[in-house]
Structures are given as structure tokens and as C-alpha cells.
A and B are shown apart, each in its own frame.
Chain A
Amino acid sequence: IAGITQAPTSQILAAGRRMTLRCTQDMRHNAMYWYRQDLGLGLRLIHYSNTAGTTGKGEVPDGYSVSRANTDDFPLTLASAVPSQTSVYFCASSDPKGWENTIYFGEGSWLTVV
């Protein structure tokens, strides 16, 4: 089944460690996104990429970095994890056509920083 694959599905990480969340999509979508979801705050955009080779900052980019070397992959890196980065992370992708821009989400990566 086509879609978005995230890894790992869950992880407990010591504060100060580096961590990369992986995201791969097989829909050949141009745009990809990383959101974090915290209780009571909904989903907040961390970083995005409109097309391979380009990235941009979202609402909450501090402490995170991304790269987009090709169309399919969009990894999210926490350079030095802190407890406030405990969250559920969702990767998403879309292929804007005209006014329609359906964004598809992965199943999430549950990260706990201790």
C-alpha cells in the first residue's frame, strides 16, 4: 500500500543525544512536512520542503534540522535532544494541484526524551 513510512515508531532517548527520525514516501509527492503533536496544542509545523533540494522553517523549528536530498526521503534530526522535545512526530507529504492540496500523514514516531 502506497504511503508514508516513519521510523522508528517509538524511541526513548537520553537528553543530549542526537536522533534522526526517518521518513519515506512512495507517492512521488513534491512537498513534505514534519509536524509535532502535543496534547492541547494540536499539530505544529517544524520544517517543510516544497521540493527536493529545498527546505524551510515552520512554526517551531528550533532544535531541529532537516534535509531533502531526494524526492522520497525527508529525515528530521534532533542535534541534542531535550525533554521538551518529547512528543509525537508526524511526517506528511502532498502534491499541490491547483487549489487542492491534500496532505497525507504517516503513522507517527513517539519520542520520549529523559
Chain B
Amino acid sequence: GESVGLHLPTLSVQEGDNSIINCAYSNSASDYFIWYKQESGKGPQFIIDIRSNMDKRQGQRVTVLLNKTVKHLSLQIAATQPGDSAVYFCADTTDSWGKLQFGAGTQVVVTP
């Protein structure tokens, strides 16, 4: 079946720099996308979401960009902090009840 995938398993970022985490999806019917952050030993935490009729959505220090032409999703974290070190997952759904399809995750490591 179609699924969401991630380009890089690990991303090393210097503290204060901006982070960009990429995600590709293959299901053209996907209409809702979510980014989650998961710290070690904890459950996933919602970061930001976007619907397929939007190109960009901003939150606090985070921006999600959606390019439907190439089926690509990215999460930008501004001024990355040590507390941003975690695994980041993108997920999509075509179901209004939110049965999400998750990618394998990207480990973000913030270095001083």
C-alpha cells in the first residue's frame, strides 16, 4: 500500500540554526498531514498540522510546507534548541476519522 516516508533517518543541527525535516508521501488522495515530536521514552506529541488545500502553516517556531505537485512535506524549526532533540514523524490520512499512516521518523540531534 501507499505510505508516508522520510528522506533522512538522522539530522544533526547546531544550536541556533534552523532545521528542515523532509517527508515524501505517495498517496495523492491524502488530504491531512501532521507532524509529531517524540522524545525518548515518551509518547508522540502533536506539533503542527496542515490540510491539502494549504501550502504553508506556521506555529510557534515551526512552519510546515506542503508541495502537492511533488508530494512533499517539510517541517522547519527556527533557532533550534537542545530541547528540540527528538524523533520527528510525519503522518498522513485520507480518512476524516484520522487513521494515520506514519513514516519511520527522523532523529534530530542538536549539537552545542
Could you tell me if A45 and B100 are in contact, using CB atoms closer than 8 angstroms?
yes
Is the C-beta of B99 less than 8 angstroms from some C-beta in chain A?
yes
Residue picked from B32, B34, B43, B104, most chain A C-beta under 10 Å: B43
Q: Chain B, 21-42, contact with A by CB distance < 8 Å: what is the 0/1 string?
A: 0000000000110101000011
A106 to B38, CA, bound (A): 11
Is the C-beta of A42 less than 8 angstroms from some C-beta in chain B?
yes
Could you tell me if A103 and B97 are in contact, using CB atoms closer than 8 angstroms?
no
A48 to B99, CA, bound (A): 8
Determine the interface band of chain A, counting residues with CB < 8 A from chain B.
20 to 34
Determine the interface band of chain B, counting residues with CB < 8 A from chain A.
20 to 34
A109 to B64, CA, bound (A): 30
From A4, A44, A94, A99, give the contact of B102 (CB < 8 A): A44
From B42, B89, B93, give the contact of A43 (CB < 8 A): B89
From B31, B42, B46, B100, give the contact of A104 (CB < 8 A): B46
Is the C-beta of A105 less than 8 angstroms from some C-beta in chain B?
yes
Q: B97: which A residues are within 8 A, CB to CB?
A: 31, 48, 50, 96, 101
Decide yes or no: A42 and B43 within 8 Å by CB, A31-B98, A48-B99, A99-B51 being known contacts: no
Q: Chain A, 27-67, contact with B by CB distance < 8 Å: what is the 0/1 string?
A: 00001010100001111110010100000001000000000
Q: A4: which B residues are within 8 A, CB to CB?
A: 43
A42 to B32, CA, bound (A): 18
Could you tell me if B49 and A45 are in contact, using CB atoms closer than 8 angstroms?
no
Is the C-beta of B60 less than 8 angstroms from some C-beta in chain A?
no
Could you tell me if B43 and A106 are in contact, using CB atoms closer than 8 angstroms?
yes
Closest Cβ neighbor of B52 among chain A residues: A99
A57 to B68, CA, bound (A): 29
Could you tell me if A103 and B98 are in contact, using CB atoms closer than 8 angstroms?
yes
Q: Chain B, 84-112, contact with A by CB distance < 8 Å: what is the 0/1 string?
A: 00000101010011111011110000000
